[in-house]
Structure 1
Amino acid sequence: MELTPQLHRIGNDTVAAYLVVTDDGITLIDAGLPGHWRDLDRELAAMGRSVADIRGIVLTHGDSDHVGFAERLRRDHGVPVFVHHADAARARGETSTKPGMGGMRIGPVLRFLGYSISKGGYRTHHLTEVHEICDGDVLDLPGAPRIIGLPGHSPGSIAVYVPAVSAVFVGDGLTTRHVLTGRRGPQPAPFTDDPEAATESLSRLEGLDVDWVLPGHGTPWHAGVPELLAAYEAARAA
């Protein structure tokens, strides 16, 4: 799905990954679920591009619904995969956590599970090799993505700020559609290791002047960072 000519989404409000498209190539933000490979192929073809144009993948964290097809791109096409050093072991499948899921509704849960299964969520291949990155790094990739640490959802969760496309990609730092309740709008994401730390980390987005805030789950946000953070706080207080 084209958001702008330089910014595309694959997947949907349930699970999403993003493409930053420049004349120098493409940076992929997250890799969704394994079955999103076909969505990636279709999106690239619609742009007249191919996998050969992808210069790197930046993972917002190491959970399986963001690792998706990353190993396939790395193994078969030599695309480097970047992840915060605190989530490198998670991206390799060496560690994981199982935080409480909190409240849920059966309908949204079943839709989330059904979609995940349909996109091969049961057969994720973890990374065998990653490039470790840190808060503050500016990567030598199309769009010059800058790394902003957002620990909380996982120790190595990050936001990826790309001024070239006026966007910040927040992974599971927050969600705009809760996959377990169906509730819409900015709010804390489920499956978060440390909810209080995740909320505190969002202050690091203050001052970013972007047109797009793009979560891993939920509708793209197009109304500014201050409005996003205000809506998030209102949801927490409700």
Structure 2
Amino acid sequence: MTMTEVADGVHRFSDAYVNFYVVEGREGLTLVDSGLPAMWTPLERALQGQGFSLQDIRALVLTHAHFDHLGLAKRLHLELKIPVWVHAEDAFIAKHPYRYRHERSRFVFSLTHPRGLPVMASMARAGALKVPGIDDVRHFPGTGALPVPGSPEIVFSPGHTSGHCALFLRERGILFSGDALVTLDPYTQNKGPRIVAGAATADSALNLASLKQLAATKAELVLPGHGEPWTGGVEAAVSIARANGPV
């Protein structure tokens, strides 16, 4: 797993085609999403390399509760008492990580889009098939900033899941887009701004419509759940994602 500082006080962890992030705040660290189970030790070592520890994490905030974003949640909560935040509409998925709506059959999709199979295999090696659910979660408020280090603002952006939320660091011009907008679709390996294929997305039409909430932030830097950071501004990313359309 690699760790890079993508902006002042914001670190990206990337492995098995999955990204999650650490935000430095005055009161400690906030983890945005949590990857997969095998990423625990690499995360611990990467934090130590920056002068931090797992004990410095004050909150885990989930953009959504799919298994590849939920991987460390239960262990962080049980072992370190770290609160886990998620939108109420995704609380069921957080408890049951493999029971979520998607438009297209994953089996059939994998047969017609075999380029995604190496990605799925990489995720499986990182523990994607054994992510534990968690039911002791805190629900997002309707709007505004979360009371966690960094004070990320909630950008409700359903479609990928019913409760998907991007997170906006207004003062830093940074948007964590989760899977509402990615720069790599893990199901096709297509690159560039887009929404995730229907094999993992609940409602592609709603996802595309929700991109207007992301564009409204006018964020300069977009940090997705999959793929490289986008430095060309969120409005340009949204325009390209709309043109790419659903898969």
Q: Quick check: 1:132 aligned with 2:139?
A: yes
Rate the CA distance shift 1:132–1:237 in 2: closer, same or farther, 3 A. Answer: closer
| Displaced runs of 4 or more, over 4 A | 101-104
Q: Percent of counterpart pairs with the same letter?
A: 32
- The DSSP-based 3-state class of the residue aligned with 1:202 is helix
Q: Which residue of 1 aligns with 2:240?
A: 231
The match for 1:119 among 106, 112, 126 is 126
List alignment gaps of at least 5 residues for structure 1.
none
The match for 2:11 among 8, 13, 28 is 8
Q: Which residue of 2 aligns with 1:196?
A: 205
Which deviations, in whole Å up to 9, do the C-alpha atoms of 1:24-67 show, x marking residues without a partner?
21111001111111231122111100011111011011111110
Q: How high is the TM-score relative to the length of structure 1?
A: 0.93
1:1-238 aligned within 5 A: 1-12=4-15, 14-93=17-96, 95-100=99-104, 101=106, 102=109, 104-106=112-114, 108-190=115-197, 191-236=200-245
How big is the shift at 1:206?
A: 2.4
- The DSSP-based 3-state class of the residue aligned with 1:170 is strand
List alignment gaps of at least 5 residues for structure 2.
none
Opposite residue 80 of structure 1, the aligned amino acid is P
Question: Are the aligned partners of 1:170 and 1:216 in contact in 2 as well (CA < 8 Å)?
Answer: yes
Return the alpha-carbon distance in structure 1 between the equivalents of residues 16 and 240 of structure 2: 18
Return the alpha-carbon distance in structure 1 between the equivalents of residues 72 and 142 of structure 2: 24
Rate the CA distance shift 1:41–1:165 in 2: closer, same or farther, 3 A. Answer: farther
- The DSSP-based 3-state class of the residue aligned with 1:112 is helix
Rate the CA distance shift 1:164–1:26 in 2: closer, same or farther, 3 A. Answer: farther
Q: How high is the TM-score relative to the length of structure 2?
A: 0.89
Cα RMSD after superposing both structures:
1.9
Question: Are the aligned partners of 1:20 and 1:27 in contact in 2 as well (CA < 8 Å)?
Answer: yes
Question: Are the aligned partners of 1:11 and 1:36 in contact in 2 as well (CA < 8 Å)?
Answer: no
Return the alpha-carbon distance in structure 1 between the equivalents of residues 218 and 87 of structure 2: 24
Aligned length: 237
How big is the shift at 1:10?
A: 1.0
Which deviations, in whole Å up to 9, do the C-alpha atoms of 1:138-191 show, x marking residues without a partner?
111111111111111111011111124421111110221111221110112121
